[in-house]
Amino acid sequence: MPKDQEKTGKIDPQKPPHFPFEDPPFRLSMGLLKIPEGDWFEIYDLQERALQLAEKRKFLADCHDDVFMADPSALMASSEVLNLMLDHLPATRPDLYSRQGATITLKPHPGFDGEEWPTDLKANGMHPLDLAARLVQEDLVVMLPPDDKQKQTSAGWRLAAGSVAFPSRWSLREKFGQPMDMIHAPVPFYKDQLQSPVDKFFNQMPRNEIFSRRNWSIHDDPALRQDGAERSVARAPKPIAADEAGERLWLRVERQTLRKLNDTGAILFTIRIHLRQLKHVVSFAGVASRLATALASLPPEMQAYKRTDLFADSARAYLNQY
């Protein structure tokens, strides 16, 4: 993370925002940073915004029941999320959003024709979280605290609603309704290194403060939506040589924010995807060596989880040229 961002929490849109590579030795951590409300949602490149909003519309139209799910218990929290965003977006980005009466407008810009959405949920027939997620590039997930009335196989904060157009190798349908420990069961070292700190932080998290964290991986597929369906297709992975890595590999970063809602006490996750082809990543001074070092320090279990084990050597050989 750039030093000026570490000090202020502010992101300079002219600088590369997300190269979150851990220094060795590897250890799983929450990596939380408190941020100002103005940085709640990220908008940098309007061309990228147009592309991601168009992709989100496509998936919501083609497979809505896989992208959006909500338990009735999350309705109040979802309404609180929508109301917060209806106030926040026009106030922080009046160049892109305006609100008048019972309508919010996403203003047009190159590549994006603009949209108007009625905010009267009875009139538009939409779930509040479904509408909220259509306003931004981020995916949105609502977590609710443990409920003694719910018969859960494991106690903990549970995923009660989500609009997830761009998952990174996971399925909302598979995770829906599950508590945090079960959601993260496939993550190596989570139970030993992170489960207790996460549970404690969620329980003690102050309301209306916003925290961010970031995950990264290297992908050989630039698709925004990766819900695990590709695993059902039997195909042998194509080997990637070092001299092909710049073209055929992408750095995929998830920038997440966490906010405990003031009225309902639910926690809202936002998840924003950043994709950069490896040949563009190396253009930033010092980043290639940092990424190569981070790849080398990943334990075998994490290499397998991130699915970098098949091309990590080629990626490192490519990065070490810079």
pLDDT for the residue 2: 37
Per the CB < 8 A criterion, the answer to whether 40 and 257 are in contact is yes
Residue 315 corresponds to which amino acid?
A: A
Q: What pLDDT is attached to residue 3?
A: 37
Enumerate residues 6+ apart whose C-beta is below 8 A from 161: 69, 70, 71, 74, 77, 78, 127, 129, 141, 142
Please give the structure tokens belonging to residue 29. Answer: 């951590």
Q: Which residues pair with 251 in a beta bridge?
A: 218, 276
Please report the pLDDT score of residue 24 as a whole number. 66
CB neighbours (10 Å) of residue 317?
14
Residues 6 or more apart in contact with residue 206 via CB below 8 angstroms: 260
Domain chopping of the chain, boundaries: 30-223+254-274
Q: What is the model's pLDDT at position 166?
A: 98
Q: In the prediction, which pLDDT does 184 show?
A: 85
Place of tokens 């070490």: 320
Tokens of 107: 């203003």
Of 269, 33, 274, the closest CA to residue 133 belongs to: 269
40: enclosing H helix or E strand:
none
Other residues' Cβ atoms within 10 Å of the Cβ of residue 6: 9
Query: What burial class does residue 110 get, using C-beta atoms within 10 Å of its C-beta: 0-12 exposed, 13-18 middle, 19+ buried?
Result: exposed
Supply the pLDDT for residue 237.
65
State the pLDDT at residue 124. 83
Asked if residues 260 and 208 have their Cβ atoms less than 8 Å apart, the reply is yes
Give me 1's structure tokens: 């993370």
Please report, in tens digits, the pLDDT of each residue of the chain (322 residues total).
Answer: 333 333 333 444 445 568 888 766 656 567 788 999 999 999 988 999 999 999 999 999 999 999 999 999 999 999 999 999 999 999 999 999 999 999 999 999 999 999 999 999 888 889 999 999 999 999 999 999 987 555 554 578 999 999 999 999 999 999 999 998 888 888 887 787 878 888 899 999 999 899 999 999 999 999 999 987 655 444 556 789 999 999 999 999 999 999 999 999 999 999 999 999 999 999 988 999 999 999 999 889 989 988 888 899 999 999 999 9
What six digits make up the tokens of 238? 């194509």
- Please give the model's pTM, rounded to 2 decimal places: 0.90
